[in-house]
Structure 1
Amino acid sequence: MILALLNQKGGVGKTTLALNLAARWAAQGRRVTLVDADPQGSALDWAQARSHAGLARTFGVVGLPRDTLHHEAPELARAADHVIIDGPPRVAALLRSALLAADLVVIPVQPSPLDGWASAEMLRLLDEARVYRPGLRARFLLNRCAARTVIARETKDALALQETGALRRTIGQRVLFAQAMAAGRVAGEIEPDGPAAAEVAAVAAEIEALGR
């Protein structure tokens, strides 16, 4: 499966999600390659921090911030169970290429009206891609979500009404994700039985079920 985490709005947590999902699947014995398609190279920076800390490499991270991604990702998929594309914000050509490469697109959004408005452009690009990839599937994912707030509930309800639909599982607003990232780790390595790891596991399972 080629999974693309995409949103034209920056700062929605694509890289953190991509790394935590990759680590979860790798821990289950899957062969995983993460494609850093963001020119900022945050996933590559994470991999370098991990290497400097002397931590084991559990999945591959490659930098491909190019608009030929739809040609290159399928080649990577031949040697992997999951290819995860960490997409760029605001670079339309790269986004279009990632959409054409993907089997499933997950659009992380935060519980905010601004994120909802920004998603409209993402949905337009999805419609464009479906001219060439009519079977392309997509789901929103509510990320950095304080579950019991009114705005989180309203955002989740609004996403559920979209034709694209939303994943049932959500990811909470947890400091542990940022702490782990800074150390070249993922949440599940620091607190294997904690709520952050449980949320990632639940989202990973839901995505895998969609990809079958």
Structure 2
Amino acid sequence: MIVALLNQKGGVGKTTLALHLAGELARRGRRVTLIDADPQGSALDWSQQRSREGLPRAFGVVGLARDTLHREAPELALNADMIVIDGPPRVAGLMRSALLAADLVLIPVQPSPLDGWASAEMLSLLTEARIYRPQLAARFVLNRCAARTVIARETAETLADHDPPVLSSTIGQRVVFADAAQTGRLASEIAGDSPAAREITALLVEISRLGIGRIAS
């Protein structure tokens, strides 16, 4: 099973969600490999920081920022229960390869006016990939949501009947996610019963209910 976090727009929280979904899957006993397909290598940096802090490895992290990803990811999947891809911004060839590799695409978006939540190019690439992968599933994920904002509600309502649709689980703008990125930790390790940790758990539960492969036990 391969889940890819993708969006042409940078700064929407792809790496944060990829790391935390991989961490939650690993916490549930799954063998997980995270593929860092972003040339910036933020997930690899996180993994190296974790090692410097003397923390145990949570899951494997592999750098694979090349457009042969759709051929190499399935090979890595032979030795893992789950592959999570942290995708690149604004690299069309890499994006196409990640789309062709994935079983499920999650598109993180921040609450914003209609013209800000997704680029036409991202949706065009998704449509193109479905020519070759008609069963490719995709969902928007509202990320970095301030609590009870009108714009978050309006964005969710706008996407409710969209293709791809939006998941009902949302991820808040949490300081603990920034702390996790800097320290090589996960939100659940910093504060196990924090809103951030609960949101990641709820997100994984909702994804598992989509019935796409065996995402969570």
Matched residue type, 2:196: A
Tell me if 1:169 matches 2:169.
yes
Do residues 189 (structure 1) and 189 (structure 2) align?
A: yes
Matches within 5 A, 1:29-178: 29-113=29-113, 114-116=115-117, 118-178=118-178
Q: Distance in 2 between matches of 1:152 and 1:80?
A: 35
In 2, Cα distance between equivalents of 1:122 and 1:57: 33
Residue 161 of structure 1 deviates from its aligned partner by 2.2
Secondary structure of the equivalent of 1:71?
Answer: helix
2:9 — aligned with what? 9
**Matches of 2:197 and 2:151, distance apart in 1:** 24
Which residue in the other structure is 2:28 paired with? 28
- Give the TM-score of the pair, scaled to structure 2: 0.95
Q: Which runs of 5+ in 2 are unaligned?
A: none
> Which structure is higher in strand share?
2
CA RMSD after TM alignment: 0.9
Q: Give per-residue Cα distances to partners, 1:100-129, cap 9 Å, x unaligned.
A: 00000000000012532x332211110000
SS in 2 for 1:161: coil
Equivalent-residue separation in structure 2 for 1:119 and 1:27 (angstroms): 34
8 A Cα contact 1:22 1:34, kept in partner: yes
Answer whether contact 1:9 1:115 (CA < 8 A) is retained: no
Shift of 1:159: 1.2
- Greater displacement, 199-208 / 43-52: 199-208
Query: 1:34 is aligned with what amino acid?
Result: L
Stretches (4+) displaced over 4 A: none
TM-score computed with the length of structure 1 as normaliser: 0.97
Higher helix share: 1
2-structure distance, mates of 1:152, 1:31: 34
> What amino acid sits opposite 2:189 in the alignment?
E
Give the CA deviation at 1:79.
1.1
The number of aligned residues is: 211
Which residue of the partner structure matches residue 206 of structure 2? 206
Q: Distance in 2 between matches of 1:208 and 1:65?
A: 27
Matched letter for residue 191 of structure 2:
E
Match for 2:104: what amino acid? Answer: L
Taking the aligned partners of 1:76 and 1:207, their CA distance within structure 2 comes to 22
1:15 partner letter = T
Displacement of 1:208 after TM fit? 2.2
- For 1:162 and 1:187, the matched residues in 2 are separated by 31
Residues 138-157 of structure 1 deviation map (CA, whole Å, 9 limit, x = unaligned) = 00000001131110000111
CA distance in 1: counterparts of 2:205 and 2:34, whole angstroms:
18
Give, as a single letter, the amino acid of the residue that structure 1 aligns with 2:174: R
Percent identical among aligned pairs is 70
